[in-house]
Structure 1
Amino acid sequence: MDHEDQTAPLLAPSPEFLATVSVFPLIPAIKKDVVVTIDSALTFDQLRASDINFAIVRPLVLKYAKLKNMSVVYACLVNRAYFLEESEDDLAYAGIMLSRATLCEILAMKLLSHFASNHITLVAVLTTSWSPLAGASPEVIEQVKQVLGTNANVNDAQSALEMAISTHAKEFISSPISQKVITDIYTGRIVFSTATTRSMLADNYKPKAITIYDCREAPFLDHYRLRVPKYGAILEFLNFACLLFTFVLCLSNQDLEKLTFWEVVFILFATAFALEEYTASTEHGWIIYIANMWNVFDTSFVLVFLCFIGMRIKGLAYGDLAASDLAFDLLACGACILFPRLAFFAVSNNVIVLSLRAMIAEFVFFMAMAAICFSGLLFTLWTLGKASWTLKRIAWLMVQIWFGNTYLSFAQAESFHPFFGPILMTTFAALSNTLLLTILISILSNTVARIDANATQEHLFQFAISTIEGVKADALFSYQPPFNLLALALLKPASWIVSPRTLHSLNVFLIKITSFPILIAIGVYERYFADGQILRESSRDAAHTIFNSLPRQIKNIPLLEALVGSTSSDLYEAIFEIDVAPGADLFDESDEEFPQLRSVASRDTMTSTPADVRRRPSRVSLAARSPHRGERSPLRPLSGLDVGVSSAEVSTAGRSPLSKFFAHVDPPPGSGNIEASVRRVETMLDEMRELPVHRLKDEMRELQVFASPFSLLTIAHDSDCS
C-alpha cells in the first residue's frame, strides 16, 4: 500500500481548508494596532513587564485570538520583518521600530499558545506555507504587482518557522511550544509534506495532511523517512566523510597530464555535493540557507572546487601543466575547510563553535575597515618610494607590521623618504599594534561573552535552522550523493513528458533501489531499537532483572551500578505508583481549615471554652458554616466582608495594652443603644468645630480668597507703570 493513500487523522487540517484561510487582512490590521500602541523605544524585558503586558499586550492577544485564524502567527512575523526593515531605513526612529518588531514577536509567541491544545493544529500553524496575499482582493493584488513589477512572484509562500528564522526571532523559536514542534519534526514524529515551486525536481503528487507517524501502520520501506532531519544529519555526516576520503586520495595520486581514477571519483562526489548545496539554497531561500554557519563552510568549499575544475579543464585542454599544478594547489587549500567541517559535527553544540561564526564576521568587517583606512598610507608610501618599492611589496610589508613584526617599520622607514618615512611608519606601527589590535581583541571578547550569555538560545536557533533545512520537498534530497546526479539526469527530462502520477512512481522506485540498505536499517531501528519499542524495553527489563538477582556485594560495585543504573529511581517511582489506603492519612479532615472568604459569625453562635485558647469560627470560610436548607442562618448581615486567616484566637488575658487595643472586643450585654452612641460622637465633633483652631483656619481661608484678586490687581498695575 502506498503511504500517500493512508487516511489522515480527522483532527488534521486538510490542505483544502488551509488554502481558504485569509492571510492578507491580518497583516495591515496588526500593523495598525502595533503602530498605534507603541510610540516609544522599549526593550524586550520592558514589553514583557506585568503592567505593559496587561495594558497593551494582553488586549491585542485576546482581540486576534477570537478570530481563530491559523495564519495569525505568520502575519505577526511578517509585520516584524517590515518593522525591522524600517528600522534600518530610518535611523531617527530605529528604536521605536525595533520596539514594534519586538512586540510583533511577543504577540506571535502568545498567540501561538492559543493553538497548543491541539498538537496537530499547532504544527499546521508553524509549518504551513502561507501566501501573504491569500484573501486579498484583485485590486490589492494588482497594486502589489505594479509595485514589484510585472515579472515579480506574488505567490512566494513561507511558513511561520521560516519567517521566524529570516527575522531572527530567537525568543519565539526558543519558546517551549515552538521547540516541541521543532523536536517532533526533527525526530520524524510529525510527518507532513510541503508543496514547493522552487524545487529543481518537484514531486507534488498527492500532498499529505499532517499526521503523527506510527511505524506499525507505515510501510517497512518508507522512502519518506529519508527526509527526516534526524536521519538526514547522519547521512550527511557519512556523505561528507566519503567526500573527504576521496579528496585525500585525489591529492595523493596527482597526475598533471591525465585524470586518475581517484580524481574522477572525487569530481563525481564533489559535483553531487555541489548540486545538493545548490538545491538546499534554492529550496528555502538564500537567507535561511546562509543563516546556518555550517553552510558557510560548505559554500566556501564549493567555490574552491569550481575554481579547481576551471583550472583543471584549462590545463588538460591546452596541455598547460602550470595551470594543472595551480589547480591542485588550489584544491589543497580546501583541506582547511573540509577537515574542520567534519570535526565540527561532533562538537556542534559547543559555545566556542556557536560563537565562531559571529567572531569571524566581526573579524572580517574590522579587517575590511582597517584596510580601507590604511589604503591612503599604502598609496603614500608607494608614491614616496616607487623608485625602489613595488605596490605588492609595500602591501606585504604593511601586513607583516600589522600582525606584530614592528621591527620592519623602523628598519625600512628611511628607504621610502629620509624625513616622512620614519614618521609615517612609526605612526602606522603605533596604530596597528597598540590601538587597533586592542580594539579588535575587545570586540571579539565581547562577542564571545554575548554568545556565552545566550548560548542556549543561540543553540536552539541553529537547531531550528538545521531542522527546517532537513524538511525539503525537493525529490533530489531523497537520493544520496552521487545518486542525486543520476536522478537529475533521468527524472528531470521525464518531468517534461510524463504525468505527475507516472513521475511519482518512477521517483519512488528509483529511491527504493538506490537507498535500499538505508531504508532497511531505518525500518529495523524504528520497529525494534527506538525509544518505546518492545525489543528495547524487554532488553532493559531483562538487564534490570539480572542485576537485581546479583548478590548485594556485586550490586554495590560503583562501576556496575553506573553502567546499569541505580535502583533508587525505581524505588521512588514505585512509591508513587501504589495506592495509599484512606486510613493512612495523618491529619483529621475536621482539623483542616483552608483560607476562604466568609462573613464573621454572630456572637450568639460562639461558644466559650475554659481555656487560654478558644476555638472560634474562621473568618474566611463561608462554605463551612452555611446553613442547611430550611434552617435559619446564624450569621448576622454586615455591610462589608471581614476577611481573616486564622481560625483560633488567644484570650486577651495577659496580653500587652497595644494588642488589647487592636483586638476585637465584643460589647457587653445590656449596653446602651448604638444610635445614642453615634449621636454623642456627632455632638463631640460639632463642639470640636467651635474650637479656636478651626476659627483660625476659617479666617486664614478668607484672607487667601481676599488676597488673590488684590495681588492680581497689583501685578497688573505694576505692568502698566512699566
Structure 2
Amino acid sequence: MESAFDDSDALLECAPGEHFTPDPHADLPVYITIHRIRKLIISSIDDPYSLEQLKEPRMNILIVRALVDRLYNPSDVSVVYCLLVNRMQFLREQSYQGHLQTVNITRATLCELVATRVLRRFDDDHPGREGLLLLANILVAGFEPFQNAPIEVLRENPSALQWPVQRRGGYERKLPALEVAIISESKTFLSSSACQKVVDAIYRGQVIYTPLSFVDILPDHYKHNPISLYNPRKAPLLNQYRLIVPRLRGMIEICQFAILLALYALTMVSREGLKITFYEVIFCAYATGWILEEFAAIIEHGWKVHTQNLWSFLDITFFVIYGTYFTTRMYALSSGQTYLGETALNILAIAAPVLLPRLAFNLMPDNMLFISLRAMMRDFSVLTLLAIWCFAGFFLSMKWLLDVSNHDGSRDGPDPATISKWMLWIWFGLDGTGIERSVDFHLVLGPSLMIAFAFLGNTLFLTILVSMLTNTFSKIVANATAEIHFRRAVLTFEGVKSDSIFAYRPPFNVVALLILLPLKLLLSPRWFHSVNVAMIRIHNSPILLLIGFYERHQLWRAPNGQPRGPSKRSKLFPWTFSGFSPHGDIQAVFETDPPEAILGKTVEVDLLTVRLEPVSQPQSMASGS
C-alpha cells in the first residue's frame, strides 16, 4: 500500500532511480545477525521444554530475558525478522533430524518467544505514533537473508540470489517479518499486543507501505514509497492506492463474490435446455475475471501464504469445477456435440455446495466453527486418503477371489463397481449387502474378509477419525484468541495487494490485462504508470470519492471527535444503534471521555479520602479481640 502522492508528477521524473525511495535498512547486517542468533539459541537450549516451561520465572530470567537483553538494539529493526527466520529453520530441521526433534521444536518456540518480547520492548520504549511507525518498519519492511553477507559466502551460494523474476528497484528477494511469521505459523507472536497494534493499523489503512510480492500479473513498479502513516487530508481525493487497504479491499471482495453468486444462481435458474442464455454469458465473463483475480492472489505471495486463508480450499475447488465446465462447454460448441453441453451444465451445478459456504466464510472469518472446520477438513482428507490406500487390499483380495472361483465364466458375479459400492456402504454403516453376498467370492474367505473390513473400517477407522477431529477442535478452541489473531494477520497481509490487476473489478480486469500488458512492452515505465493510474481512477471514481470523503473525517477520529488515534471500535461499520437496546447507555458512557479538569479533581479527592479514612475492622474481629 503506497503513500499518497500526486501521480501527475510522474511525467516530470526522468532519472531512472528517482521514483524509488532508497531502502533505509539496507546497511543492517541481516546475514550476520541470523547466524549470531542461531548460535545463541543452540547454546541456550539442550533439552526439550514446552512454551509454559519457558515462561516460568526461573527460565524467563536465565534464558528468555537474557537473550532479549542481548539482542535488543533500538537501531536494528531486523532482529525480529532474524529470530523468525531461525524459527523456520529449526522447524524444518525437526522434520528430518529425529534425534533432535523435540529439542529443535523447543528452539523454534524460544525464537518465537524472544521475538515477541523484543517487539514488546520496542513498543514499550517508543509510544505514540512514532512508535507505531517503528513497529510497522519492524514487521513489514523487507529484508533479505543474505543481506550484507561476505563476498565469499555469496560465491559459495551463487543460486541464492536468482529467484526474483521482476525488477523492484533494489527491493527484490526481500520478505517482511510479518510474512515469515505467517508461513512459520508463529501464532503466539502474531497474537501479541504489539503485533496486533500494527496489524490493526494496516487493516484500517493508517499505516501504508509498498507491498513486496513474488510475481505480479500486471506489474507497475514505477514507484516504491517508504512505510509511513497515512494522512487523508494531504492525499488526493482520487487516491487509487486506497483500493488495496485490507478493510476496504475486504468489503469490495465480499460485494464481488455476492455478484458472482447471484449470477451463478440466475444462470442455473434460467437454463433453457442446451441453449446458451444471456445470464450464462455474463456469468462466464464475470467468473473468468474473478478467477483471474484469485489466481493473482495465489502467485503474489506464494501457495503457502494463500492456503492459510479459511476459504482457500473452496476457491481451488471452484477453480477446478469452473475450468472443467468452461472447457467442456466450449468444446461442445466447437465440435457440435450437443450432449456435452448438458454434461457441462451438470458439472456447473455441483458448484453450489462450494459457493454458498464461501460467502459465509467471508462474512464471519472470526467464527470458531469455520476456523476449526478448515483444520478438521485437512485432517479428515489426510486420514481418508490413508484409509483408502490401506483398504484397497481388501478390494483386490475379493476381486481376485471372484476371478479364481469363476475362472470358467459359468456364473455371473459382481463387477468391481458393485464391490466398491458394497465396501463403501459397510464403511459408513449404511447397508450390509456386501456381507450377505460375500459367499459369492468364497465360502469361507469371502465372509472373513468382509467381516474384517467391517471391523477395521466401520469401527476402528471411524473411532480414530472422531478422536482425531475432537482433538483438533479442542486444541483450536483452547487457543481461540491466538487462532483468531492469526487469521486476522493473514487476511490483513494478503489484503495489501501489489499487483495492479486488483484495482480493476471483474470482468474489466480481463480487459485491462489484454490492453495494458501489450502496452507495457511499448511504453516506458513512466508512461505506463501514468496510463495505468488514469485508467484505475476513471474505472473506480465513484468508489474512490466515497472512500476519500469518509476517511477525511473518520480514519484518525476518536469517538469524542478528537483526531488522536485509532477508534475504540474496530468493527466493519462505525455506527452503533444503541438507542434500540435498553443496555446501550452502558456502552455509550465509555465512548465519551469526561473533561480532564473534572476528572482530575475527582481523582484527587478520592485519593485523599482513601489516605485519611481509617481501615474499619469487621465487628466479629473487634469483639474477639
SS of aligned partner of 1:180 = helix
Q: Deviations over 1:629-657 (max 9, x none)?
A: xxxxxxxxxxxxxxxxxxxxxxxxxxxxx
Match of 2:476 among 440, 448, 451: 451
Counterpart residue number, 2:347: 330
Q: CA deviation at 1:292?
A: 1.1
Question: Given residue 514 of structure 2, which amino acid in structure 1 is its aligned partner?
Answer: A
SS of aligned partner of 1:20 = coil
Q: CA deviation at 1:169?
A: 0.4
Q: How far apart in 1 are the matches of 2:531 and 2:38?
A: 47
Match of 2:56 among 42, 49, 52: 49
Q: How far apart in 1 are the matches of 2:479 and 2:579?
A: 37
Counterpart residue number, 1:60: 67
Counterpart residue number, 2:568: none
Answer yes or no: is the 8 Å Cα contact 1:23–1:130 preserved in 2: yes
Q: How far apart in 2 are the matches of 1:151 and 1:171?
A: 30
Match of 2:105 among 98, 105, 110: 98
Counterpart residue number, 2:42: 35
Q: How far apart in 1 are the matches of 2:281 and 2:87?
A: 49
Q: CA deviation at 1:29?
A: 0.9
Counterpart residue number, 1:580: 601
SS of aligned partner of 1:412 = helix
Q: CA deviation at 1:535?
A: 12
SS of aligned partner of 1:18 = coil
Q: CA deviation at 1:318?
A: 1.1
Q: CA deviation at 1:145?
A: 2.2
Q: Deviations over 1:356-378 (max 9, x none)?
A: 01111111111111111111100
Answer yes or no: is the 8 Å Cα contact 1:304–1:331 preserved in 2: yes
Q: CA deviation at 1:50?
A: 1.5
Q: How far apart in 2 are the matches of 1:402 and 1:409?
A: 11
Counterpart residue number, 1:497: 522
Q: CA deviation at 1:322?
A: 2.6
Answer yes or no: is the 8 Å Cα contact 1:26–1:75 preserved in 2: yes
- Residues 500 and 195 of structure 1: is their aligned pair in 2 closer, same or farther, counting only changes over 3 Å? farther
Answer yes or no: is the 8 Å Cα contact 1:65–1:111 preserved in 2: yes
| 1:414-563 aligned within 5 A | 414-528=439-553, 532=557, 561-562=582-583
Counterpart residue number, 2:158: 145
Query: Does 1:115 find its partner at 2:122?
Result: yes
Q: CA deviation at 1:586?
A: 7.7
Answer yes or no: is the 8 Å Cα contact 1:277–1:299 preserved in 2: no
Counterpart residue number, 1:696: none
SS of aligned partner of 1:17 = coil
| 1:48-447 aligned within 5 A | 48-66=55-73, 68-116=75-123, 117=126, 118-145=131-158, 156-196=173-213, 198-254=215-271, 259-386=276-403, 387=406, 388-447=413-472
- Residues 250 and 535 of structure 1: is their aligned pair in 2 closer, same or farther, counting only changes over 3 Å? farther
Q: CA deviation at 1:527?
A: 3.1
- Residues 420 and 492 of structure 1: is their aligned pair in 2 closer, same or farther, counting only changes over 3 Å? same
SS of aligned partner of 1:414 = helix
Question: Given residue 16 of structure 1, which amino acid in structure 2 is its aligned partner?
Answer: D
Answer yes or no: is the 8 Å Cα contact 2:74–2:122 preserved in 1: no
- Residues 115 and 498 of structure 1: is their aligned pair in 2 closer, same or farther, counting only changes over 3 Å? farther
SS of aligned partner of 1:16 = coil
Q: Deviations over 1:67-103 (max 9, x none)?
A: 7321111111111111100000112210011011111
| 1:688-699 aligned within 5 A | none
Counterpart residue number, 1:615: none
- Where structure 1 has 5 or more consecutive residues not aligned to the other structure, the ranges are 7-12, 539-556, 594-722
Q: CA deviation at 1:343?
A: 2.2
Counterpart residue number, 2:410: none
Question: Given residue 151 of structure 2, which amino acid in structure 1 is its aligned partner?
Answer: P
Quick check: 561-570 or 13-22, which moved more? 561-570
- Residues 569 and 99 of structure 1: is their aligned pair in 2 closer, same or farther, counting only changes over 3 Å? closer
Q: What percent of counterpart residues are identical?
A: 34
Answer yes or no: is the 8 Å Cα contact 1:133–1:155 preserved in 2: no
Q: How far apart in 1 are the matches of 2:187 and 2:415?
A: 50
Counterpart residue number, 2:623: none
Q: How far apart in 1 are the matches of 2:603 and 2:200?
A: 42
Which is higher, the Rg of structure 1 or of structure 2? 1
- Residues 328 and 157 of structure 1: is their aligned pair in 2 closer, same or farther, counting only changes over 3 Å? same
SS of aligned partner of 1:25 = helix
Q: How far apart in 1 are the matches of 2:304 and 2:72?
A: 30
Q: CA deviation at 1:493?
A: 1.5
Question: Given residue 133 of structure 2, which amino acid in structure 1 is its aligned partner?
Answer: I
- Residues 369 and 505 of structure 1: is their aligned pair in 2 closer, same or farther, counting only changes over 3 Å? same
Question: Given residue 517 of structure 1, which amino acid in structure 2 is its aligned partner?
Answer: P
Answer yes or no: is the 8 Å Cα contact 2:425–2:432 preserved in 1: no
Answer yes or no: is the 8 Å Cα contact 1:47–1:53 preserved in 2: yes
SS of aligned partner of 2:521 = coil
Higher relative contact order, chain-length normalized (CA < 8 Å, sep 6+) = 2
SS of aligned partner of 1:24 = helix
SS of aligned partner of 2:30 = coil
Counterpart residue number, 1:677: none
Answer yes or no: is the 8 Å Cα contact 1:61–1:111 preserved in 2: yes
Q: CA deviation at 1:514?
A: 0.9
Q: CA deviation at 1:399?
A: 0.7
Q: How far apart in 1 are the matches of 2:214 and 2:432?
A: 61
Q: CA deviation at 1:260?
A: 2.7
Q: How far apart in 2 are the matches of 1:268 and 1:480?
A: 12
Q: CA deviation at 1:252?
A: 2.8
Q: Deviations over 1:449-484 (max 9, x none)?
A: 111111111111111001000011111111221121
Q: How far apart in 2 are the matches of 1:15 and 1:2?
A: 17
Quick check: 91-100 or 488-497, which moved more? 488-497
Counterpart residue number, 2:16: none
RMSD after superposition: 3.1
Answer yes or no: is the 8 Å Cα contact 2:329–2:344 preserved in 1: yes
Counterpart residue number, 2:567: none
TM normalised by structure 2 equals 0.84
Q: Figure out how many residues of one structure are paired with residues of the other and give that number.
A: 569
Answer yes or no: is the 8 Å Cα contact 2:80–2:118 preserved in 1: yes
- Residues 526 and 533 of structure 1: is their aligned pair in 2 closer, same or farther, counting only changes over 3 Å? farther
Counterpart residue number, 1:601: none
- Residues 29 and 560 of structure 1: is their aligned pair in 2 closer, same or farther, counting only changes over 3 Å? closer
Quick check: 185-194 or 494-503, which moved more? 494-503
Answer yes or no: is the 8 Å Cα contact 1:4–1:206 preserved in 2: no
Q: CA deviation at 1:155?
A: 5.1
Answer yes or no: is the 8 Å Cα contact 2:164–2:172 preserved in 1: no
Q: How far apart in 2 are the matches of 1:365 and 1:57?
A: 37
Q: How far apart in 1 are the matches of 2:358 and 2:610?
A: 66
Counterpart residue number, 1:17: 24
Answer yes or no: is the 8 Å Cα contact 2:427–2:457 preserved in 1: yes
Question: Given residue 269 of structure 1, which amino acid in structure 2 is its aligned partner?
Answer: Y
- Where structure 2 has 5 or more consecutive residues not aligned to the other structure, the ranges are 10-19, 166-170, 407-412, 564-577, 615-625
TM normalised by structure 1 equals 0.73
Quick check: 78-87 or 490-499, which moved more? 490-499
